[in-house]
Amino acid sequence: MKYAVVKISGKQYLVTSGQSLIVDRIPGKEKDKVSFKEILLAFDGDKVELGKPLLKGAVVQAEIVAQTKGEKIRVSKFKSKSRYRRVTGHRQLKTKLKIVKI
């Protein structure tokens, strides 16, 4: 079983071929192909290749499945003794990827 550790948007993910993955927003439209060159580790079934810090020439290819939003987070501000209260919401933009090839 092949797998790799990939750095996407500043975070590290353990990925295999055919896996679906939700990451922070990556620019692009649905069905666009994306390639990631920041590979930290790769395993092909027999040997492990470890980068110092990155592997040279290694590429993970993925396809954008959907551009979505995460769950809503409510943020509140409060100041005591002055009746000041504010509640705002935030939804993080997310991208759903499907790993095509390692």
Give 18-54 pLDDT, tens digit per residue: 999 999 999 999 999 999 999 999 998 889 989 899 9
Give the list of residues 6+ apart from residue 46 with CB closer than 8 angstroms, or none: none
Q: How far is CA 70 from the centre of its chain?
A: 13
Domain boundaries, position 91: 3-101
77/100 Cα distance (integer angstroms) = 44
Number of domains in the chain: 1
Nearest to 41 by CA among 10, 12, 18: 12
pLDDT score recorded for residue 95: 96
The answer to whether the CB of 61 falls within 8 A of the CB of 2 is no
Q: What is the pTM of this model?
A: 0.83
